[in-house]
Amino acid sequence: MRTASLTGLIVALSIASAARDGLAQVNIGFEAPTYATGNLVGQDGWIKNTYYGAINGNVTVSSTAPLAGARSMAYTQTVAGGFSDVGRLDTMLVAAGVAGTDVTLSYVIKATTNAFGSPVGGLFLGNGAPFGASPIFARINGGVVEVGSAGAIVPVNSFFFLEGERLKMTYEIDFDAATMNFIVENLEFGDVFTQNYPFFAPYGAATGPNGEFEVDLGVFLRGGNVQIDDITLTAGVGPLITEFEWTATGSGNWNQGNNWTPTGVPGTLPGRQTATLGASITANATIYNNATRTLNALEIDNANGYHIGGTGSLDFQEDASGPTTIAPSITVANGAHQIQLAVNLNDNTSITVAGGASLDLNNQIDLNGNTLTTSGTVRINHSTIGGGTVNSTGALAANGASDVGGNLVSTGSLVIGADEEGADSFNVLGDASLSGILDVMWSGVSLPAGTFTVVSAGGTLDASGLSLAADDARSFVLGTDGNNLTLTFLGAAVPEPTSLGMFVFGLVALVVRRPRAAALRVAACVAATTTMLGAAGNASAVSFNFENPPYTPGTLIGQDSWITNGYVLADPFFGGVVNGTVEVSAASPLAGAQSVLYTQTVDPPLAGGSGASDVGRPFAVFGTADGTTAVDLTASFLIRADSNGIGNGSMGFFLGRGGRSPILVLLTEANSGAGTGNILVGDGGALPSAGAYVPNNTYEFTFGVDFDNDNYEVTSRNVTAGTPAVTLTGSGPGGRFPYFGGDFGDDGDGVTYTLDTSVILRSGTGRVDNITAVGDDFVEAVWNGSSGDWNRNAAWIPQLIPNATASVNAPIAVFKDRFTEPHTAFTNTTQTVNGLRFDNATKYVIAGSGSIALRANTIGGTVNPTINVVSGAHELQAAVSVLNNTAVTVAASSTLDVNSSVALGGRTLTNSGAGVLNLNVGVTGGGAVSNSGTLGTAGATPIAANLTSTGTLQVDLGVANTDRFNITGTATLSGLLDVVMEPGFTPTGSYTVLTSTGALNATGLTLHPSDLSAFTLSIAGNSVVLTTGGSVGIPGDFDGNGTVNGADLTQWRGDFGINDESDADGDNDSDGNDFLIWQRNLGQTAATPTAASVPEPASLLLVAMTLAACGALARRRCS
C-alpha cells in the first residue's frame, strides 16, 4: 500500500470524523496559486503515466480560452502515434459503506481534431491509475462518447454532440456494487444521457489505512486537442450504512460485499458500523477476514456456530459522531461461537453473552489500556496484552492457562476446569480483585489431584470476597500463597460412583462443563473413528467395480460421489431430460457380482431433444505431463450395449472435466437384430468411426493419455468373442487421437491435469463395469485458490481435496509461493493429512470450526506426519489433532503460531529447525513435546504433556506480557532459555517462566549469551525463575555453561559467518573478533572471574549493547 498524500489524508480524516451528512471533496480547477501556466507534469502531484514510451503532444496548464475560471488543462497532439496520458496518485481515500454512490467524479471536457489526429480524451479512476489501472472510465473518441463496461469499450451512440462543444461528464461510483452510473450532458444544448455500467475491470481490494479504497486519477490524452477543467471528486454522497447483516447461507469472505445486506463491508468506516451474524446459516460456518475491520458493534444470534478467522483483525471503536457517544460492544444472543483472529480495542468495550450461549476468544486481545467488560460465558483461550482491565460480571473461563496482561476484576464466576492433566488458570500481570464464586468443572471420570494455582497476580491479589460454588465446596478448598490463589482437591469428597449411569453422567459433565479440552479429546476420538470407517478417498489410481460394498443395488446416483452430469440438464441439445434409469444391478454383470445397468425409458423426440442419462465421478484421478511423448495416465473400462425397443444402443466413456470430453469412446447404432454398430473415437474436431462394434458383446477399451502433446491412444478388445486387443488408429502422430475439441486446460501449474470419469448413456440399454484410471501418486496438494474453503477441489493442484480416509495414504497440504498477499484457508470439518508445508513469505492462516488431523501413512511403509515451515510466518487457528507422532520443522527466520489447542492423545510432537514454533493456546491429551529447535508461547500456556527441550525455550517479557510454560507432566531441560524483551521495557524482580507438576530436571539449561548480563537463572522447586540484575557472563562462553573452553570454540566454528550465536563483542555476528575474545578468556569460569573475563573499559558498553539487542528482538505472537 502506498503512503497517502496530504490531500488523501485530509479527505480520509474528513470521512472518519464527518457527521452523517458530511461530505469530503477534492477540487482541481487548475487555478493559481496552486497551478502556474506551463507544463502540467510536476505540478500538484501530476506525473506522466508509465505504461507508454512515446509522448505525442504537450500537456499544459493554459489560460487560452479556458473552459472555466482563468485556466484549464490543455493537450495538443504534435506527432502521429504515441500517448500523452497523465495521472495523479493518492487523489482521495474513499470508504465504502454508504447506500448507493460512494464517490462522484465530474469534469468538463472539450475536444477537437487537429492536423495529427482526431480527439481522444477523458478521465479514469483506479488504484494505480498512472500505472495503467483503469477500471472506471469514459472518454471522447472522435465524435463518440465511450464507456468502459465489463471488459468492453461501449459507444454511447444515442448521445449526439459536435466537436468543440463542451460536455460535462459525471461518474456516480458504487464500490460495493462495482458499478458506475454515467451521466453526460451537452452544456451547449442541454442534451443529457445517463446509464448504469459495471466497472470495466475489478477495482481491487480496499487497501487504505482504515480499509478505504485508494483513488488515483488518470487522464486519457491520445489525439487531437483536448481541454479539461473543474475536476471534482465528492465522497460519501449516499446515506451512511450503519447496520449490516450476514445473509450468505454458509461460510464466506467478510470482505465480499454481496455476503451482507445491504451490500457492503462492515467495519470500513471505523466505529460507525454494526455487523450482525444472524439466522442465515443452518450449520457451523466460518467467516474469514484478511483485513483490519473496525466495528462499533458485533451481534451474533444463531444456534449454529459462527467462527471468525483470518489473517486480519477485528477492532472495536466508539461512535462519537452523534450527540451521544456509543461504546463498542459484542453481543451473543444464542449459540456457541468463536473469534479466531486477533482483536484490538480502541475504546472500552463490553461483551454480553446470553444464558446458554458462549463466546470463545482464541487469539490475542490487545486492550490498548482499555477495559473489557464481560457478562455471560466468555472464554479467553489465548491472552490479553496492552495493559487495561478485564472486568467480568459473568462466567469467565480459560482454556488451560490464560494470560491477562493488565488487571482482572471478577464479581461473577471464574470457571476453572480441573482433571488429571491439571487445572485451568489465569496469569494476571497486574492486580487481581476477585469476588463472587469460583466454579470448578470436574468429573469422576478424570480426577484432579493435589493443589493447583488457579490465579497468579503480578500486582496485588484480593480474593477476600471469593468463595467456591456450593457443589464444589465439599470437594475443594481455596487458599492463597502470596499473590497466588490455590485450589486443593479433597479426594474423600468425590461423589460415590453408584452405577454405569453415574459414569456416563460424569463423562457428559466433563464434556459440557470443561468444553475446551474435553471437546478436543472427543473430537480426536471421533476423527479417528471416521478415518477408520470412511469410504475410499481420492487416490492416484481409482477403480470402480460397483461391487457390494460399497455399492448397493439400486440407483447409482448418490453412491460413492456419482452424479448426473450437469450438461444433461443444462444443454438444450438434450432437452433437459434424463432419458433413462442408471442402476447398480446384479442382472447379467460384465464382471463380478454387479455392474452399472442403463435402460432408456424415454423416446428422445418426446424429451424435447435427444435426451441423455450421462453420469460422472468428478475429480477422480490426475496425472502430470513429463515432457516426453510417453503416456502419462492410463484408463480402461468394460462396456456392452444393445437396443431395447426404444432406441438403438449408444453408450460410451470419457475422461475430462465439467462436460469437456477430450478423451472419448462412444458406441453407436448397437442393435443385435440389425448388424454391427460403430466405435466412435474423439479425434480433434471430429468423431469418426474407428471400427465396428458387435452389439450385445462385452468390449474392453483402454486409454493411454499424453498430456504433453494433447493426444491419446486407444485399444479395443472383444471380450465376448475372445479376440486379442487391437490398437485403433487416429489422425495424430503415431496413430494417436488428438484431443476431441482441442486443448484441455491444466489445473493451474501448466503440468497437472485432474480428470472426471464419465459414462455416456444416450439410448438403448447396456452395462458398464471395471472402470479403472491410473495416474500419479497423490502425495501432496498445493493450495491454488484465493482465500476460502479447504473443501473446494478447484482450490488445489491437483484438484483433489487433501483429506484421506483409512483406505489410502494421506497427502500433504502445501501452501507455497503462488500468491503475494495473505490468504486464509478454512475448514468446518476434519481434514486428515500426512502433513502441512508452508513456503511463502506471505502469511497463510488455516481457520474454521473444523480441525486438522495429522496421521501417519502406513501403506508401503510407515511415514509419520510432519509440519514444515520453509519460509514465512504462518498461523493455525483451527484445532489440531495429532493421530501419530508428528515432527515440526521451522526454518530460520520463519515462524509458526498455533493459536488453537493441540490434542496429542498420548503421542509425541517434535520440534526442530532454526525458526520458532509458538504453542500459544495449549497442548492436551498427555504424550510428549520434544524440542530441539526454538519453542515459544504466548502468556501462560498449558502443556499437558512431558516436555523435553535440548534446543531453545523462548519467552517474552514486557510491561503487560510475561510468557510462561505450564507443564502438566515432567520437564527435562537443557539447551538455552532465550528472553525476548519488548522495546523500552526494563525488567525488575523475578519472573517464573516455567512450572511443572512432575519432576523438573533443568541442570543443563542455561541462559542465551545475550541474556547473561541481564538475568540469573535459578530453579525454585518445580519452577524455572528469571531474576534481574544477575551475573555478568564471560565473553567467549558461547554455550553459556559458565566456562570458556574448547566446546565454545566448536560452537564458534559452526556459527562463524552464519549467525550471532557466538557473538562476544555485541556486534550481532560471529566473526574473527569473537574468536580473539574467546582466545583471551580461555579457561575462565563464572566462579573465578578476573579482569580479563569481561571486556576492558568497554564492559558497560557491551552490557548496553546486549540489552539493546535483546529489546530489538521483541516480537508478538498473535497473528
- The amino acid present at 1040, given as its one-letter code, is G
Rg, C-alpha atoms of the chain: 35
Beta strands in 819-877 (DSSP E): 823-826, 830-833, 835-839, 844-847, 851-854, 866-871, 873-876
Determine how many CB atoms are found less than 10 A away from the CB of residue 36. 12
Cβ pair 67, 230 in contact under 8 A: yes
- The amino acid present at 155, given as its one-letter code, is P
Q: What is the pLDDT of residue 337?
A: 98
Kindly give the pairing relationship between strand 306-309 and strand 285-288: parallel
Q: What is the pLDDT of residue 1088?
A: 33
Closest-CA residue to 308 (of 328, 326, 332, 324): 332
Q: What is the pLDDT of residue 307?
A: 98
Domain boundaries, the chain: 6-235, 364-513, 542-771, 775-925
Q: What is the pLDDT of residue 908?
A: 98
Say if domain 542-771 classifies as CATH 2.60.120: yes
Half-sphere exposure of 249 (CA within 13 A, CB side): 0
Closest-CA residue to 49 (of 124, 136, 146, 118): 124
Written as nine digits, the cell of 161 is 454532440
- The amino acid present at 684, given as its one-letter code, is G
Written as nine digits, the cell of 482 is 502470596
Cβ pair 41, 59 in contact under 8 A: yes
Q: What is the pLDDT of residue 540?
A: 65
Same fold, 6-235 and 542-771: yes
Q: What is the pLDDT of residue 983?
A: 83
Written as nine digits, the cell of 1109 is 539487542
Closest-CA residue to 1032 (of 963, 977, 982, 1091): 1091
Cα–Cα separations (whole angstroms), residue 1048 to 41, 99, 146, 662, 1079: 63, 68, 75, 66, 10
Question: At a CB cut-off of 8 Å and minimum separation 6, what does 682 contact?
Answer: 654, 661, 662, 663, 664, 665, 737, 739, 740, 741
Which phi and psi (to 5°) does residue 472 adopt?
Answer: -105, -15
* Conformational region of residue 28, where left means phi above 0, alpha means psi within -120 to 50, and beta covers everything else: beta
Segment 500-542, tens digit of pLDDT: 333 333 333 333 333 333 333 333 333 333 332 233 333 467 8
* CA–CA separation, 396 and 401 (whole Å): 12
Which phi and psi (to 5°) does residue 524 adopt?
Answer: -65, -40
Mapped to the 3 state alphabet, what secondary structure does 69-95 carry?
CCCEEEEEECCCCCECCEEEEEEEEEC
Q: What is the pLDDT of residue 570?
A: 77
Written as nine digits, the cell of 238 is 449516499
* Conformational region of residue 400, where left means phi above 0, alpha means psi within -120 to 50, and beta covers everything else: left
Q: Identify the DSSP state of 117.
A: B
Counting every residue written for the chain, the total comes to: 1119
Q: Quick one: CA dihedral 443, 444, 447, 452, positive or negative?
A: positive
Greatest CA separation found in the chain?
Answer: 111
Place of cell 469476588: 435
Q: What is the pLDDT of residue 1086?
A: 57
Segment 26-71, tens digit of pLDDT: 999 999 999 999 999 999 999 999 888 889 999 999 999 999 999 9
Residues of the chain with pLDDT under 70: 1-23, 209-211, 237-239, 492-540, 604-608, 1030-1033, 1066, 1086-1119
Q: What is the pLDDT of residue 420?
A: 81
623 CB-contact burial (10 Å; exposed 0-12 / middle 13-18 / buried 19+)? buried
Q: At what angle do helices 500-513 and 515-533 cross, to 10 degrees?
A: 110
Closest-CA residue to 637 (of 762, 776, 759, 765): 759
Indicate the class that CATH gives domain 6-235.
mainly beta
Written as nine digits, the cell of 938 is 504466548
Cα–Cα separations (whole angstroms), residue 384 to 326, 370, 1119: 23, 11, 13
